[in-house]
Each structure stands twice: as structure tokens, then as C-alpha cells.
């Protein structure tokens, strides 16, 4: 199983340098929003002792995972061309086809997080938790990327339709702003606070922010970890069910 | 009888349509089995079931003695499959995709390197091994697709319409490779094709499927022989219709003759046994002093067998539809 996952992840990672057109927006979008939002809001959105560039940095990292770092498009392509069938006649474990790509996603999110983080540090962001905190910050962001990835995979496998997967990314992107993206919970309008309380991203952002602003806040980090685990559990269940469906029906039904 | 592939009472339905309808076949070890039939006959569905891509609705299938429903994973280790509508990952090079599939088949290190080199060599992929797949022509992709199926030296090879889109040279190369695999490595090959000359050339035995059912099975020679329809053509030197008519009348009495007709001085006789008819013809023209410029015997081709069997099927289904409409 591990070897199968390594092989599948290897294919996806090998293709990365050849897919610059899809990686560029995934890197550009969070950096763009970080730079523009900080430049626009840092003077009016100073939150007491907390500089806005520190408060907003985790949002940009979370956006990395939402703006198309996922390899779900690979699945759609494989299904559309019939290559998925060719993979299915090999003895590879079916789940390795999914988890192998997710490992690649984890690596991609980790790699894309670094330049976004560097932009933040250049802007003056300082991590209260130190170097270890930075590493945990990247790990948490990458795990979020892994947990989130299950949703686009579920859609890709279920529909085999690139348009559905692309529009899902747009939908998920809006969800990223139905939370404490710009201000803490107690400054949100009541309806948005209510939505934000139910949005798992809120707890992830609070965990990531704690590493930047507060140092080591065990409770915030534990809640963030549990949130990532919970989202991952739901998304993986959906993705595995879709995988099972796709393996059952194949890419086509022919006589 | 045990075989490399055993199919018993196989049925696959899609809604109310029975794509495969009670199919039973045995493919022997180290045999090339040609599976032919018209469009929509059930060839590809059968191949997808045998290669573990589709579950049968009912019936049993064993491949290399393993039940495909109980242990598909083990079956996949033993088979190589080149599907008709299989795309390839255009972002990889030919060499990379071969190595990738070798790894999926469990090859590592030297055995992987050997497998890739062998697959590249056997189908003439050397010329474009390091090129990105997205830049290859359709024929090159088809050859690569089949090379992928061979990378782990499978005991059983499934090929679905393998030469579609190939130029004549590539086609000939693939035929030679299939023959070599069977002869030198004992590979069992299950081949679907619509090119009857391909089946005739390659297959030890042929199964003809129509409407999801097996209509005939046997060696190409046996199938042609079973048709019992040789054709003897005689060209009258004078091109005189009276001479030709005389030959027709004299031939009609022969017990091997099914029918005889002439046109433009050429007599065409359909015969149960071409050799007897030919000998009889020579006696007739000698005794009647009719000059002939040419005499030839044409054995039935696989095309004749195919058309005979599948047109029977079409006629039967038309008749059934007529009855149903009448009722």
C-alpha cells in the first residue's frame, strides 16, 4: 500500500514542473490577496496590539489550499481520457490512487506556504512561537490542505466533470471568507458571527494565529488539530465513497 | 477442460439490455484467441469483465484459475490489458509512463529497468521513448499503450482492437510481437478485433459473438471448412455464353454443386467441395471440347464465415421483431 502511494504521488510530483500554468495561480492568488488586503486595511484594521499583517497571514495560507493546489483535476483528466481504467487493471490498491495524489497535495501546499510565509515575514510578521512555531504553522496548513482536498476529489470522482470541480473551488473560496478572515469573532456582525462559529475554518485560523500572535496556546492548537481531523474525516469518507463508485462504474459503459 | 481463461454462463445487463447473454468459452494456455463480432456484439463488455473492470451480472469467470470476483487483485498481477478507449497521461514521457506502470505492477530496481527496456524494444517505442506523450501521434500512442501492457511480462494479455489507428508497418510489427510472445514466452492472448485478416493471421482459435452470444468457435481453418462453400470460377476462352451455359447445365448434376451461374463467359460454381468440383469441371470441358482460359478455386474466407453467421443473427432478430410487432 505504501509503495503504491509512493508511486502514485511520484507521478503527480514529477508532473508539477510541467504544470506551471496551474501552479502559478495557486501561488499568485494568496500572495495577491495578502499584499492588497494588508495594504488596504492595515491602518483601519489595527486590532489593539496586533498588527493586521500578522492577523491576516493565516488566511492567505488557508487560501493556498483552496485555490487549486489539489490534484483533483488529474483524476478528472484520467477519467475523461479512460486512463483511470488503465490504472484500475493494475494491482494498485484503489485507495492508493487517491491517497497518493493527496500526499502530493500535502507536499504542494507545504511548498507553496513557504513563499507566502516569506512575504509575510518581509512585511514584518514575527512568530511569537519561534522557528518551531513556523514549522508547526506550515505542518498545520499542509494538513489542512490534505483534509480539504477530499472534497474536490469526491466531486472529481463522482462526476468526472472538470466544470463541477472548478466551480466547487469557487464555492469553497467564498466559505474561506465566512469566518474571522479580517476581524476577530467579537467584532463580526451577529449573523456572520453565527456562521463563523459553525465554520471549521474559524478554529483553524485561531490555531494558526495563536502561533503568530500568542506563542504556544495549547488549547487553540488542539482545537485547530481536531478541526482539521474532523474535516479530514468527513472529506476522506466522501472521497472514498466516490472512489468506490467510480471503480464500480468505470469510465464508460459499453457493449 | 481447464484453461487460462474459463467463462461459464456469463451475463452482463445494462438496464433491460443483455450486452452479454450466457457466454461460455475456454481459452487454453499459450493460445491466441480471437474474439470477433459486429459493433455492439458484446466484445468490449466481455473483455472488460475478464480484465476485472466490470462485474458480471451472473456467471463465473476464472483467469489463470482465479475467480475474478473473489480475488481480482491476484488476477491483475497476472494480466496485461490494452483497452480500446484508453488514454494516456500526456504529461509523462513514454519511458516515465512505462516505469510508472512497472512500479504499479510491483517491479523495482533491475527488474523494472529490464521490463521497461524490453517493452520499449518489443514495440519499437525507442524512437520516442523520451518524448512527452502529448506530442505523439495516435499510432505511436497505441503502440505505447500496448507496450505498457507488456512491461511486467504478463501471463495473459488482453488486447481490445489493438491495431486500430496503426499504420501497416506498425500493424505487422505488432502481429509479429504477438506471435513471438505466444511462441517464446507462452503468453495467452485474448484479442478482440474487427479486422478479420488479423484474426485469421494471429488466432489459433476464434470465437464469433453476436447479440451477446457465441455463434461459432474454432480454428480459422475449421470455421471456413464448416461453411462448406468453395467457389470455382471457370473462364471460357471464347467468352461465348452458349459454352458457359453448357458448362452450367453439366455442372448442376454434380452432387457437390450448390449452385452455378455465368456472366460474360465466366462460370461461377458454389460447391460443397471445391476439389471434387474442380476435377469434375476439367472432365466436362475435356469431353465437351470447350476451351477454357482460366480455372480457379477460392476457399471461403473468414469474411464469408463472419457475414454468414452475423447475417443469420440479423435475419433472426429482424424476424423476431416482425413477430413481436405483429403480435
- Summarised one tens digit per residue, pLDDT across range B133-189 is 888 877 788 888 888 998 888 999 999 888 887 788 888 888 888 888 888 888 999
List C-alpha distances in Å: A251 to A139, A159, B145, B169: 35, 10, 17, 31
pLDDT band at A74 (very low <50, low <70, confident <90, very high): confident
The torsion defined by the Cα of B298, B301, B307 and B312, in degrees rounded to 10, comes to 80
Write the DSSP symbol of residue B272: S
Query: Residue range A92-112: average pLDDT?
Result: 85
Distance from CA of B117 to the nearest CA of A (A): 19
CB A114 within 8 A of CB A108: no
Residue A112 has pLDDT above 70, yes or no: yes
Query: Residue range A220-243: average pLDDT?
Result: 93
Residue B300 has pLDDT above 50, yes or no: yes
Render A139-168 in DSSP notation, one character per residue: HHHHHHHHHHHHHHHHHHHHH--HHHHHHH
Q: At what angle do helices A130-159 and A52-66 cross, to 10 degrees?
A: 30
Query: Residue range A223-237: average pLDDT?
Result: 93
Q: Which of B39, B43, B10 is nearest to B26 (CA)?
A: B10
CB contact under 8 A, B88 and A83: yes
CB B174 within 8 A of CB B7: no
Q: Note the pLDDT of residue A45.
A: 60
Q: Is A245 left (phi over 0), alpha (psi -120 to 50) or beta?
A: alpha
pLDDT band at B9 (very low <50, low <70, confident <90, very high): very high
Query: Residue range B297-325: average pLDDT?
Result: 61
Strands B266-271 and B205-210: unpaired
CB B233 within 8 A of CB B261: no
Q: Say which residues have a Cβ less than 8 Å from residue B291's Cβ, sequence separation at least 6.
A: B236, B237, B238, B243, B285
Q: Note the pLDDT of residue B314.
A: 53
Q: Note the pLDDT of residue A46.
A: 61
Q: Note the pLDDT of residue B323.
A: 41
Nearest by CB to residue B44, choosing from A3, A90, A255, is A255
Query: Residue range A84-97: average pLDDT?
Result: 86
Retrieve residue A202's grid coordinates.
Answer: 474559524
Task: Give the number of residues written for chain B.
Answer: 327
Among A117-131, A220-234, B34-48, B205-219, top mean pLDDT goes to A220-234
Mean pLDDT computed over every residue of chain A: 83
Q: How far is it, in rounded angstroms, from Cα B17 to Cα B208?
A: 20
Share of chain A above pLDDT 90, in %: 20
Distance from CA of A231 to the nearest CA of B (A): 30
Residue A118 has pLDDT above 50, yes or no: yes
Q: Say which residues have a Cβ less than 8 Å from residue A126's Cβ, sequence separation at least 6.
A: A54, A212
Query: Residue range A90-112: average pLDDT?
Result: 85
Distance from CA of A86 to the nearest CA of B (A): 7
Regarding predicted confidence, which is higher, A230 or B281?
Answer: A230
pLDDT band at B312 (very low <50, low <70, confident <90, very high): low
Q: Which residues of A touch B19 (CB under 8 A)?
A: 255
Query: Residue range A49-55: average pLDDT?
Result: 80
CB A141 within 8 A of CB A62: yes
Distance from CA of B14 to the nearest CA of A (A): 8
pLDDT band at A253 (very low <50, low <70, confident <90, very high): very low
Residue A87 has pLDDT above 70, yes or no: yes
Question: Can you list the pairs that B59-63 forms with residues at least 24 positions away whose Cβ atoms lie under 8 Å?
Answer: B59/B7, B59/B8, B59/B9, B59/B10, B59/B11, B59/B22, B59/B23, B60/B6, B60/B7, B60/B8, B60/B9, B60/B10, B61/B5, B61/B6, B61/B7, B61/B8, B61/B10, B62/B5, B62/B6, B63/B4, B63/B5, B63/B156
Regarding predicted confidence, which is higher, B281 or A20?
Answer: B281
CB contact under 8 A, B103 and A3: yes
Nearest by CB to residue A89, choosing from B17, B55, B76, is B76
CB contact under 8 A, A89 and B44: no
- Summarised one tens digit per residue, pLDDT across range B23-66 is 999 999 889 999 988 888 888 889 999 999 888 999 999 999 89
Q: Note the pLDDT of residue A60.
A: 86
CB pairs < 8 Å spanning A and B? 88
Share of chain B above pLDDT 90, in %: 17
Retrieve residue B98's grid coordinates.
Answer: 512505462
Q: Across chain B, where does the E strand assignment appear?
A: 5-14, 17-27, 32-36, 58-63, 66-67, 79-82, 156-160, 188-193, 205-210, 213-218, 230-236, 257-263, 266-271, 292-298
Q: Note the pLDDT of residue B325.
A: 40
Q: Which residues of A touch B86 (CB under 8 A)?
A: 81-83, 85-86
Pick the residue from chain B with its C-alpha nearest to A97. Answer: B104
Q: How far is it, in rounded angstroms, from Cα B273 to Cα B296?
A: 13
Q: Which of A199, A180, A198 is nearest to A189 (CA)?
A: A180
Residue B322 has pLDDT above 60, yes or no: no
Q: Note the pLDDT of residue A243.
A: 87
Pick the residue from chain A with its C-alpha nearest to B41. Answer: A255
Q: Which of A224, A250, A10 is nearest to A133 (CA)?
A: A224
Residue B199 has pLDDT above 50, yes or no: yes
Q: How far is it, in rounded angstroms, from Cα A73 to Cα A159?
A: 12
- Summarised one tens digit per residue, pLDDT across range B230-259 is 888 888 887 777 888 888 888 887 888 888
Count helices and strands in chain B by DSSP H and E runs: 11, 14
Q: Note the pLDDT of residue B327.
A: 33
Q: Note the pLDDT of residue B324.
A: 38
Query: Residue range B306-313: average pLDDT?
Result: 68
Mean pLDDT computed over every residue of chain B: 83
Nearest by CB to residue A89, choosing from B81, B87, B212, is B81
Nearest by CB to residue B76, choosing from A91, A251, A255, is A91
Interface predicted TM-score (ipTM): 0.77
Measure CA B276 to chain center.
Answer: 30
pLDDT band at B313 (very low <50, low <70, confident <90, very high): low
Amino acid at each position: 500500500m505504501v509503495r503504491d502511494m509512493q508511486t502514485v504521488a511520484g507521478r503527480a510530483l514529477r508532473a508539477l514542473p510541467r504544470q506551471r500554468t496551474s501552479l502559478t495561480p495557486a501561488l499568485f492568488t494568496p500572495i495577491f490577496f495578502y499584499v492588497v488586503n494588508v495594504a488596504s486595511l492595515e491602518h483601519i484594521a489595527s486590532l489593539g496590539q496586533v498588527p493586521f499583517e500578522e492577523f491576516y497571514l493565516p488566511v492567505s495560507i488557508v487560501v493556498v489550499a483552496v485555490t487549486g493546489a489539489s490534484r483533483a483535476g488529474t483524476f478528472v483528466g484520467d477519467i475523461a481520457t479512460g486512463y483511470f481504467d488503465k490504472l484500475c487493471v493494475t494491482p494498485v490498491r484503489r485507495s492508493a490512487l487517491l491517497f497518493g495524489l493527496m500526499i502530493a497535495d500535502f507536499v504542494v501546499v507545504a511548498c507553496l506556504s513557504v513563499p507566502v510565509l516569506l512575504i509575510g515575514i518581509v512585511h514584518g510578521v514575527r512568530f511569537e512561537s519561534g522557528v518551531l512555531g513556523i514549522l508547526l504553522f506550515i505542518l498545520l496548513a499542509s494538513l489542512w490542505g490534505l483534509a480539504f482536498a477530499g472534497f474536490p476529489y469526491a466531486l472529481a470522482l463522482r462526476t468526472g466533470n472538470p466544470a463541477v470541480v472548478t466551480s466547487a473551488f469557487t464555492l469553497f473560496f467564498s466559505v474561506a471568507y465566512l469566518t474571522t478572515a479580517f476581524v476577530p469573532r467579537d467584532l463580526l456582525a451577529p449573523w456572520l458571527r453565527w456562521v463563523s462559529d459553525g465554520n471549521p475554518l474559524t478554529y483553524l485560523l485561531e490555531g494558526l494565529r495563536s502561533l503568530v500572535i500568542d506563542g504556544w496556546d495549547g488549547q487553540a492548537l488542539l482545537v485547530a488539530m481536531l478541526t482539521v481531523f474532523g474535516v479530514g474525516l468527513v472529506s476522506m469518507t466522501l472521497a472514498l465513497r466516490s472512489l468506490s463508485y467510480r471503480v464500480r462504474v468505470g469510465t464508460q459503459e459499453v457493449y | 477442460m481447464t484453461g487460462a481463461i474459463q467463462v461459464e454462463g456469463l451475463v452482463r445487463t445494462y438496464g433491460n439490455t443483455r450486452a452479454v447473454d450466457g457466454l461460455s468459452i475456454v481459452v487454453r494456455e499459450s493460445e491466441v484467441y480471437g474474439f470477433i463480432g459486429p459493433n455492439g456484439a458484446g466484445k468490449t463488455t466481455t473483455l472488460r469483465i475478464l480484465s476485472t473492470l466490470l462485474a458480471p451480472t451472473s456467471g463465473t469467470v476464472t483467469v489463470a484459475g482465479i475467480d475474478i470476483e473473489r480475488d481480482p487483485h491476484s488476477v491483475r498481477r497476472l494480466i496485461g490489458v490494452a483497452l480500446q478507449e484508453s488514454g494516456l497521461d500526456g504529461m509523462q514521457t513514454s519511458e516515465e509512463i512505462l516505469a510508472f506502470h512497472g512500479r504499479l505492477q510491483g517491479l523495482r530496481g533491475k527488474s523494472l529497468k529490464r521490463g521497461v527496456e524490453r517493452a520499449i524494444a518489443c514495440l519499437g517505442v525507442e524512437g520516442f521513448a523520451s518524448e512527452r506523450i502529448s506530442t505523439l501521434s495516435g499510432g505511436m500512442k497505441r503502440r505505447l499503450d500496448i507496450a505498457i501492457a507488456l512491461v511486467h511480462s504478463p501471463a495473459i494479455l488482453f488486447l481490445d482492437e489493438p491495431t486500430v489507428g496503426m499504420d501497416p508497418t506498425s500493424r505487422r510489427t505488432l502481429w509479429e510481437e504477438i506471435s513471438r510472445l505466444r511462441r517464446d514466452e507462452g503468453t495467452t492472448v485474448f484479442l478482440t478485433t474487427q479486422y478479420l485478416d488479423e484474426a485469421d493471421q494471429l488466432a489459433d482459435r476464434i470465437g464469433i459473438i453476436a447479440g451477446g452470444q457465441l455463434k461459432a468457435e474454432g480454428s480459422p481453418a475449421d470455421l471456413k471448412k464448416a461453411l462448406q462453400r468453395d467457389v470455382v470460377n471457370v473462364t471460357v476462352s471464347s467468352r461465348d455464353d452458349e459454352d458457359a451455359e453448357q458448362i452450367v447445365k453439366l455442372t448442376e448434376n454434380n452432387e457437390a454443386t450448390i449452385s452455378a451461374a455465368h456472366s460474360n463467359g465466366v462460370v461461377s460454381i458454389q460447391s460443397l467441395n471445391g476439389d471434387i468440383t474442380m476435377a469434375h469441371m476439367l472432365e466436362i470441358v475435356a469431353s465437351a471440347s470447350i476451351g477454357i482460359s482460366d480455372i480457379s478455386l477460392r476457399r471461403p474466407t473468414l469474411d464469408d464465415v463472419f457475414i454468414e453467421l452475423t447475417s443469420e443473427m440479423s435475419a433472426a432478430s429482424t424476424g423476431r421483431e416482425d413477430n413481436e410487432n405483429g403480435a
